[in-house]
Amino acid sequence: MDTNIANSNLKSEDYFINMGPQHPATHGVLRLLLTIDGEIIKKVEPDLGYIHRSIEKMCERDSYQQIVHLTDRMDYLSSHINNEAVCLTVENALQLEVPERVKFVRTIIGELTRIASHCLWWGVMGMDIGALTTYFYGFRDREMINDIFEETCGARLTMNYNIPGGLMFDIHPNFVKRTKDFVAHFKTKIPEYDKLLTGNVIFQKRMKGVGILSKEDAISFGASGPVARGSGYSCDVRKYHSYSALDKVTFNEALKTEGDSLARYEIRIQEMWESLSIIEQLIDNIPEGEHKVATNAVIKLPKGEFYQKVETARGELGVFINSTGTKNPYRLKFRSPGFSNLSLLNHIAVGGKIGDLVASMATLDLVIPDIDR
Amino acid sequence: MTNEALQNLINSWIPELEFTEEGSQFLNISVKPEQLHQLMSQLKSNTETSFDYLFCVTGMDWGKELGVIYHLESTTHRHIIVVKVQTEDRENPTFDTVSNIWKTADFHEREVFDFFGIKFNNHPNLKRLFLTDEWEGFPLRKDYVDEINMVIK
């Protein structure tokens, strides 16, 4: 009976369906307009701007100290690294050498931020594809990092710990001990993550061969971070354009060549191990010294153009400043990793099913304020 | 390749380009709009330059001119170059698209169009990306005025 219907010349038409802006799997206000034939996706068109705040325009009227605070609100899961990006750009423009202590602390907190971000991603990605338990495991471990941040930076999410010239205040006396406790704790937890989710048969079937991205396409679409590295494209900014204390540590860049959702997933798990190793190499060697160097109350950048790349938890964040020599930037552009990574969603989702789109999107790890800025 | 070698090589393709390293950590090239597409496709396809990674596209309003700044990197040679293009036509600024050379330019050019009103010839889907279709004006231009939403200090 059924085969007769399938073989008959019944007319089928494309139809449109809205995914978002209030869909739980988009993790923010992203609207995707899907063109669908049956359950097969023919086109994914992102509609952006639901939380666009025009941070770039606001930067044009703000001082350089104020701009740092706006960057927290882009990719809020990499807030410390975003802050660092602006501070590094300003410091390089002023040719300001910050103390070694600052570099070490920046890198340690940056890597803690990366782990916290990946923990949250791991939790919600499991939830997206139907494994509810992961959410609680991920948040449990992230909570420990947030407590460390709260004690040292005074905030748990939008830390604002970096200022041009160094850090806002010195680290808390408990910082080193608590970070070491966390590293010891988390080393026993990643194998637990693998046990719970990575080896799960249902999970593997949902991820393997889904959302395949080739290396050539990854480069052409401007992909970066774990998304690009899952396709075998070596692009870690920490390796190629090292900053802060990253030149004092050795770590491996996680690379896989499959290019599917499972590869992107495994890259992030691997990155958590690498971040732990970076923290371990630095935490006992934080040099004594000042936590900042004095800058003018009003910072004026010399005339010219300045660019700085950093590796956030999502990929390559670029800060481009065009200065005319005044106390505000003439133009400031954020090259956000999420924006470029989103642009390849249509490419990897076409031909798959809606359920596969959720899996692919989860492994792109999009943060919408980072895309909308 | 060093900046000097890059400059010599690129200069041999198109003679009228302007090169500068002043006020920037990279080598900057200024190109005329009509030569943009030719230069860009050569920068990508030539094996000595092979700039296959377009990592940043910035719309610019220099006050009088409007333009676009492209940041390019080669994933094989790891050198970086900056290409700038500008026009004095503020009514109808138009450049050729590079989205057929780098796929990432599709979204980035739509962003530039949205905020600067710069059009791109042959772009597959040039429409507003962040703002609504009925939005008037282009907010990141320096002469944009919005008395209700903008806080002027």
Give the model's pLDDT for residue A6: 58
A40: closest CA of chain B, how far (Å)? 23
pLDDT category at A187 given cuts 50, 70, 90 is very high
Give the model's pLDDT for residue B153: 58
**Domain annotation covers residue A4:** no
Per the structure block, which two tokens stand in for A14?
């494309």
Are the beta carbons of B130 and A49 separated by less than 8 Å?
A: yes
Are the beta carbons of A222 and B53 separated by less than 8 Å?
A: yes
**Domain annotation covers residue A328:** yes
Residues of A in contact with B54 (CB under 8 A): 222
**Domain annotation covers residue A157:** yes
Give the model's pLDDT for residue A177: 92
Are the beta carbons of B153 and A344 separated by less than 8 Å?
A: no
Mean pLDDT of A200-226: 89
Are the beta carbons of B107 and A340 separated by less than 8 Å?
A: yes
Q: Which residue on chain A is closest to B55 by alpha carbon?
A: A222
Residues of B in contact with A56 (CB under 8 A): 140
Range of the domain at A180: 54-372
pLDDT category at A21 given cuts 50, 70, 90 is confident
**Domain annotation covers residue A31:** no
Q: To which residue do tokens 């988009």 refer?
A: A26
**Domain annotation covers residue A34:** no
Among B52, B108, B153, the residue with its CB nearest the CB of A61 is B153
pTM summary value: 0.87
Residues of B in contact with A343 (CB under 8 A): 103-104, 106-107
Q: Which of A41, A20, A1 is nearest to A351 (CA)?
A: A41
* Pairing outcome for strands B80-87 and B27-31: parallel
Q: What percent of chain A has pLDDT over 70?
A: 98
Mean pLDDT of chain A: 88
CA-CA distance, A20 to A28, in Å (whole number)? 9
Least confident window among A3-12, A338-347, A351-360, B69-78: A3-12
pLDDT digits (tens, 9 = 90+) for B98-111: 989 999 999 999 99
Chain A interface residues facing chain B, Cβ-Cβ under 8 Å? 48-49, 52, 54, 56-57, 61, 217, 219-222, 224, 233-235, 240, 302-307, 309, 316, 318, 320, 322, 331, 333, 335, 339-340, 342-344, 347, 372
DSSP assigned state of A254: P
Find how far residue A35's CA is from the centre of its chain: 28
A342: closest CA of chain B, how far (Å)? 9
Per the structure block, which two tokens stand in for B78?
């790891």
Instruction: Write the Ramachandran bin of B3: left for phi over 0, alpha for psi from -120 to 50, otherwise beta.
Output: alpha
pLDDT digits (tens, 9 = 90+) for A242-294: 888 888 888 888 888 888 999 999 999 999 999 999 999 999 888 888 888 88
Among B58, B104, B151, the residue with its CB nearest the CB of A320 is B58
Inform me whether the C-beta atom of residue B130 falls under 8 Å from chain A C-beta atoms. yes
Give the model's pLDDT for residue A8: 66
CA-CA distance, A62 to A71, in Å (whole number)? 12
Inform me whether the C-beta atom of residue B77 falls under 8 Å from chain A C-beta atoms. no
**Among A44, A53, A62, A219, which would you mutate to test the B interface (most chain B Cβ atoms within 10 Å of its Cβ)?**
A219
Among B23, B25, B55, the residue with its CB nearest the CB of A222 is B55
Contact A368, A28 (CB under 8 A): yes
How many domains is chain A partitioned into structurally?
Answer: 1
Give the model's pLDDT for residue A1: 46
**Domain annotation covers residue A17:** no
> How many CB atoms within 10 Å of residue A303?
13
CA-CA distance, A147 to A174, in Å (whole number)? 11
Are the beta carbons of A304 and B52 separated by less than 8 Å?
A: no
Which CATH number do you get for residue A136? Answer: 1.10.645.10
DSSP assigned state of B115: H
* Structural domains of chain B, with CATH: 3-121 (3.30.460.80)
**Domain annotation covers residue A39:** no
pLDDT digits (tens, 9 = 90+) for A137-161: 989 999 999 999 999 888 888 888 9
CA-CA distance, B27 to B2, in Å (whole number)? 10
Residues of B in contact with A235 (CB under 8 A): 75
Residues of A in contact with B25 (CB under 8 A): 306-307
Per the structure block, which two tokens stand in for A312?
């956030």
**Domain annotation covers residue A24:** no
pLDDT digits (tens, 9 = 90+) for A105-130: 999 999 999 999 999 999 988 888 88
The answer on pLDDT for A319 being more than 90 is yes
Contact B21, B14 (CB under 8 A): no
> How many CB atoms within 10 Å of residue A83?
29
Mean pLDDT of A35-53: 88
pLDDT digits (tens, 9 = 90+) for A59-111: 888 889 899 999 988 888 989 999 999 999 999 888 888 998 999 999 999 99
Among B61, B78, B104, the residue with its CB nearest the CB of A222 is B104
Q: Which of A329, A266, A271 is nearest to A62 (CA)?
A: A329
